[in-house]
Amino acid sequence: MADTGEGKKEEADYKRLHTFPLIRHTDMPEEMRVEAMELCVTACEKYATNNESAAKMIKEMMDKKFGSSWHVVIGEGFGFEITHEVKNLLYMFFGGSLAVCVWKCS
């Protein structure tokens, strides 16, 4: 019985530890990085069950704020190889396993 309780406690601790955004790679300037990261977190929380809507929200806001040609991919377990403009890439995790990749190319 104690094993089950402890296992649930460890799982809860793991989930709490991994709810913060974790940046895997970025070359954005500090101000842009902070804004993009906050936007990604907001969109992922607002559309927790709909990654397509979250990606659309992020893209539209990034286009408006930093000019057009932004692209967004949100999901779990995907790989990618992209070409992007220098200082316009953010690859982060949110909520443990949800990955968000935001980049600009023209």
Where does the pLDDT of residue 1 fall: very low under 50, low under 70, confident under 90, or very high at 90 and above?
very low
Full-model pTM: 0.81
pLDDT tens, 72-103? 999 999 999 999 999 999 999 998 889 999 99
**If residue 13 lies in a helix (H) or strand (E), which one and from where to where?**
helix 2-17
Tokens read off for 54: 């979250």
CATH of the structural domain 21-104, one choice from 3.40.50.980, 3.90.550.10, 3.40.470.10, 3.30.740.10: 3.30.740.10
Assess contact for 26 and 89: CB atoms under 8 A: yes
